[in-house]
Amino acid sequence: MMHRIERTFAGRPLIIETGRMAKQAAGSALVTYGETVLLAAVTVSDKKSPLPFFPLTVEYKEKMYASGKIPGGFIKREGRPRDEEILSCRIIDRSIRPLFPEGFQNEVQVVIYVLSADQENDHDVLGLIATSYALASSKIPWAGPIAGVRVGRIEGKWVLNPTFQALEFSDIDMVVAGTDDSIMMVEGGALEVSEADIVDALKVAQKGLAELVGMQEELLKKAGKVEKMEWKGTEIPDDVRKTVTKAAEKRIEAAINQKDKATRIQAVEKVKEEVKAEMAEVLAPEHHGLVGMIVGDIEYNALRDQVLSTGLRVDGRKPNVVRDISIDTSVLPRAHGSALFTRGQTQALVVATLGTANDVQRMDNIDEPKESTKSFMLHYNFPPFSTGEAKPMRGTGRREIGHGALAERAIQGVLPPFEEFPYTIRIVSEILESNGSSSMASICGGSLACFDAGIPLKAPVAGVAMGLIKEGKKYAILTDILGTEDHLGDMDFKVAGTETGITSIQMDIKIQGLDLKIMTEALAQAKEGRLHILGEMNKALPTVRPELSPWAPRIVTMTINPEKIGDLIGPKGKTIRGIQDETGAEVTVDDSGLVTIAAVGGEAMERAKQMVQAITAEPVVGETYQGTVKSVTAFGAFIEIMPGTEALLHVSEMRHHRVEKPEDIVKKGETVTVKLIDRDERGRLRLSMKALLPKPEGADSAAEGEGASSEGGEGGERRERRDRGDRPRGDRGGRGGRGRE
């Protein structure tokens, strides 16, 4: 049966429908906002998965037909997910995952299709709403509904779900997911805003979330209650838990307090194996498989209890202390910029590379009418050896794409405008060691690599990952969390920014929502950690290198008359390719006439610049030129003074005395020196040779006579001869303004 609800949200109609499409799924929802339409369908396995974790998968598919496009390339169907789709997957996954019951291990699949895109309304938050309703209306056990909103601030005013066009003027772009009274997930970027601004944004978001959750609850009530499926988690008898706890608790408490990650893991594993062996002689065979789970619970509780009771973490730090930091810059001699950033047992080798406009990433997506480009990229790589493991390396994973996007946003906000620094910038972070906060190390190392490369960032950027241990009303906020604290804690809250403010933020939680009080405290503590890290970075490299790397391309830009673009490119690109082949420089020109020249060597760039100027320069009246005689006529000669630019040298301007035959003075193909003496209102150019020659004695009176001959000589016949210059045959001078076509 179909059910539908419609409300106006943030000035646009929002519709949620169910029972219309994908009716064989466990739950489905069709969401329409403006003219953007998404379908979410959820399914669940009836059997418990044998995997030791909850197998939730989220697939987010942007269909090219949604905006009336056909996929580019040779294969005309959607293929592997693009980065933007993966980031939307992660937003939805991280928002819904904490609300599944602990111990539920039936496989759940969520599929979201973007069916229509109006290129005004972003659809990731709509995907959250559709997924939430599909889950809440299904038999799957889930503690929703939730909702998602995007928050922007334009000219000081908070805006919910700003359009793509409005976001261009916003200093905050933040996606917030949550219930009607708590925050579940935060993801966004900003232009150096304060912690107070972030809190205000969360308050604005919370109001929007409450409205959207209420809308879903109203539709759920209208559609009728759905009976949830029965499921069975792993049951651990009390006597078994007590027996194992008695044998393992003290040993686990001692094992976890190791500063070194590998030593700690080995110590915990040793205890697990010892306890398993001991329990094999004590417990019934059917309970042997529970020992590992119980020991894991003991480790979980021991770490958390220690932090809350003693204020000390497993590596001996207090909650607000950052690990030791070491920094090396210029570690790779041929790279344009590089930094090795080490914080505790997390290490990132980050490299910055400068490219030209030809190196931009070209993207075709459903949110823009035509192909777009991206001139800044940050790529994050997480090889298995960084954690001491041996695993297959099967390409870039979703986690790597997500961490790279987070770090990219952090630095994006402090980059110089492309017009001022016309380089394509690629940063690559190679994680060499990992024990928590590797994405934040990528941000710190990326900022240092940019400084090392001579990229004039507005300010250095640092990031810190915050954690949370919460039991009832008691909690502890942790700065610069370890991998263990991330795994066993309740929150992973990453904050990056400059000394002035925040540029990137991401929050995931494992409990069912956080209030603003804890988030406000976490932001304040994160600022202390960020400023400390910036201080250490400043000691290593306080300012941007004054010069680019000798291996980086030098780029100059110049503006030419758009009418000269064709002359520069030449037939089928022959002219511009010739410049590049001869000089080794890279030359590009856009439709506005902006020419970009890039070359590693200064000589190549200068030579290319001279060649471009020679082709595109505008003739200047009063200047002297070396020109080539292109043709000789009865009334003068046409001289090419610049490539593609010809001007008339009238017979009267060849000598101070009367010239009967122009061919006696100039010959086709020879080079002559001439002066540009006039450009008329039609753009026709006139040259003179006699203006460069000394006047003979008594030439003034002769010049007057010659002036008459230049007008056509004696009487009106000569004047009419000059007037014929306006006919098509004589209108050659006008080609000086356009060049030869």
Residue list, annotated binding site for Mg(2+): 486, 492
Report d(CA 349, CA 433) in Å as an integer: 10
| Residue recorded with tokens 């000219």 | 155
SS3 98: helix
- How big is the chain by its Cα radius of gyration, in Å? 36
Report d(CA 224, CA 229) in Å as an integer: 16
Q: Is the dihedral of CA 168, 174, 177, 180 positive or negative?
A: negative
Torsion angles phi and psi, residue 559, rounded to 5: -110, 130
Can you state the angle between helices 83-96 and 398-412, rounded to 10 degrees? 100
Beta strands in 306-375 (DSSP E): 325-329, 337-343, 346-355, 361-363, 372-374
Question: Residue 522: exposed, middle, or buried by beta-carbon count in 10 A (0-12, 13-18, 19+)?
Answer: buried
Report d(CA 218, CA 5) in Å as an integer: 8
Element (H, E) at 16: strand 12-18
Could you count the other beta carbons within 10 Å of the beta carbon of residue 611?
Answer: 22
Q: Please tell me the number of Cα atoms within 13 Å of 402 on its side-chain side.
A: 18
Tokens representing residue 244 in the block: 């194992």
DSSP at 128:
H
Query: Which residues are annotated binding-site positions?
Result: 486, 492
- Are residues 505 and 463 in contact, defined by beta-carbon separation less than 8 angstroms? no
Task: Give the Å distances, CA to CA, from 397 to 82, 90, 94, 107, 380.
Answer: 12, 12, 16, 20, 10
Give the angle 314-303-434 at the CA atoms, nearest 5°: 55
Tokens representing residue 7 in the block: 């409300």
Report d(CA 562, CA 592) in Å as an integer: 6
